[in-house]
Amino acid sequence: MAEIKDDTRQQAILTSAFQAFATYGFRKTSMDDIARGAGMSRPAVYLHFKNKEAIVSKLTELYYVEKSEAVAKALKTPGSIPDVFARAVQAQTEGIAAILASPHGLEVLDSTKSLASDILSQGEADLAGLYAEWLLREEKAGRVRLTAEAGEMAKTITAALKGLKVSAGGAEEYENLVTQFSKLIGAALEVR
């Protein structure tokens, strides 16, 4: 989770909430659980967040900030197309297996989808934009072969990675599917 530089109390609340949601699920987690985990009173938590939904929105926002920074950095590394693509996919998917392995991982992902859909949509669009820019840059350099418009291919990449989260039967299967996807797409993109 990306760090909030200006407010350690808010960071403590978000860390506590994330852990509580993964442990107990969104529905069963109370603001008291979050406050206790953050080492503060419930009224103090309400000074920072109106409710659990606001916390989920902030967690989702920070997740996409962190992932966008990590993917952008990975896409700027040197190496073969499959290697660079694999690093970007790893940067985007790192930590998801741990969520899926938690007792309420799928509920956490579902809650995010329903409570922060606008943030999720923008975050996915931002990630797709990073992949599209990379694809265009690498096509111009003669290293990538595009079979469709770069933006559409990038949307397909992010949609596929998002779909793997819900189709996997658990954390280990998810990691295996992501690795297979990364190798397949990386090899298909590379000009030989």
- State both tokens at 162: 């998002």
- Percentage of the residues of the chain whose pLDDT score is greater than 90: 78
Give me the mean pLDDT over the 91-102 stretch. 89
Q: Which of 74, 101, 102 is nearest to 171 (CA)?
A: 101
Name the pTM for this structure.
0.89
CATH, domain 52-189, list 1.10.357, 1.20.58, 3.40.50, 1.10.3210:
1.10.357
Average pLDDT rounded to a whole number, residues 65-93: 98
Helix (H), strand (E) counts: the chain:
10, 0
Residues forming a β-bridge with 190: 144
Average pLDDT estimate for 94-111: 83
Q: Tell me, what's the pLDDT at 71?
A: 98
- Residue 5 pLDDT class (50, 70, 90 cuts): very low
Question: How far is 192 from 190, CA to CA, in rounded Å?
Answer: 6
Domain ranges within the chain, ordered by starting residue: 52-189
CA pair distance 145, 189, nearest whole angstrom: 5
